């Protein structure tokens, strides 16, 4: 049996604990590591902190990585939703101190994860300079951060016309060495092009999800005489799909809420997109 580790100030863990394949690197680049008597911890440049339990003797990981801290909810209108830290930023030390003060690591392993329900989200993504934002509908079971893989309904351009797309996967933006080109479940909530998002429904049933799929496929993409008109068409198409979902009671619990949603979406539309299609 390996010797019992010292209970001194500094602790160690097996090298395999911090191996590249075992780390939850989808949340960013690792900027800080820490080991105590029972846990190994990492912090990413976005301020997310993960911990795993260590065997008291072998110092190997005996649990999966668990998120113990995440930044406050970002402003959805900001282009950089989370702060990005470097190794020696003073905020890094403050985060570790906050975790210790509130015993967040121990609490994370004792709490039960909340039940997740299917969400339907309106996503607006930045395109090229001076181009209108691309709108799409995204459905998923969100984690504690509101992110997580799902499926997308949208219209896109190709061959001088617009056509419908239903997407389930995307290229991994942070692949491990030798795994370049691998696909993962699509997650528009973590897209680097995400300008803002709005949750339209928080507790969709399987039958309601199927109806969203049917309505999105039935809605005809707009016709455009120019490339810029084609780039702009996703906003009006998305609003028409949402209006049909409202008529069937999938989006909005009351008529007042539905009217407020539609008013907000009209305000968020790019003025140039309305002008291109002659809408008022």
Convert the pLDDT of each residue in 61-80 to its tens digit: 888 888 888 776 554 444 44
Convert the pLDDT of each residue in 90-149 to its tens digit: 888 888 998 988 888 888 888 766 677 899 999 999 887 777 888 999 999 987 667 888
What pLDDT sits at residue 123?
93
Would you say residue 150 has pLDDT above 80?
yes
What pLDDT sits at residue 248?
92
Sequence-ordered strand ranges (E) for 37-85: 39-44, 49-53, 66-69
Would you say residue 1 has pLDDT above 60?
no
Give buried/exposed letters for 38-47 (b at 16+ CB in 10 A, else e). Answer: bbbbbbbbbb
Would you say residue 89 has pLDDT above 50?
yes
pLDDT more than 70, % of the chain? 77
Domain boundaries, the chain: 15-110, 118-276
What span, in angstroms and rounded, lies between the C-alpha atoms of 255 and 271? 26
What pLDDT sits at residue 158?
72
133-137, 159-163, 254-258 — which is least confidently predicted? 159-163
Please check whether residue 29 is in contact with residue 84, taking contact to mean a CB–CB distance below 8 angstroms.
no
Tell whether pTM > 0.75: no
What pLDDT sits at residue 71?
74
Structure tokens, 123: 């996503």
| Phi and psi, residue 198, nearest 5° | -135, 130
């Amino acid at each position: 049996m390996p010797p019992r580790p010292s209970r001194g100030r500094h602790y160690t863990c097996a090298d395999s604990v911090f191996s590249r394949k075992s780390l939850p690197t989808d949340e960013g680049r690792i900027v800080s590591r820490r080991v105590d008597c029972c846990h190994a911890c990492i912090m990413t440049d976005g301020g997310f902190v993960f911990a795993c339990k260590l065997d008291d003797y072998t110092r190997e990981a005996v649990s999966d990585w668990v998120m113990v801290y995440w930044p406050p909810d970002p402003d959805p209108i900001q282009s950089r939703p989370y702060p990005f830290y470097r190794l020696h930023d003073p905020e890094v030390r403050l985060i570790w101190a906050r975790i210790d003060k509130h015993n967040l690591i121990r609490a994370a392993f004792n709490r039960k994860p909340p039940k997740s329900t299917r969400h339907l989200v309106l996503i607006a993504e930045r395109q090229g300079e001076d181009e209108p934002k691309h709108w799409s509908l995204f459905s998923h079971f969100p984690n504690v951060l509101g992110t997580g893989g799902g499926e997308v309904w949208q219209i896109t351009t190709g061959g001088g016309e617009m056509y419908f797309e239903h997407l389930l996967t995307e290229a991994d933006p942070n692949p491990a060495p030798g795994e370049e080109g691998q696909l993962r479940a699509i997650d528009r909530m973590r897209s680097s092009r995400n300008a803002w998002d709005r949750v339209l429904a928080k507790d969709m049933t399987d039958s309601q999800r199927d109806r969203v799929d049917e309505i999105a496929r039935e809605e005809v993409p707009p016709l455009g005489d120019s490339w810029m008109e084609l780039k702009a068409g996703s906003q009006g198409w998305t609003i028409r799909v949402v209006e049909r979902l409202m008529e069937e009671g999938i989006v909005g619990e009351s008529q007042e809420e539905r009217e407020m949603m539609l008013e907000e979406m009209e305000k968020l539309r790019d003025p140039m997109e309305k002008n291109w299609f002659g809408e008022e």
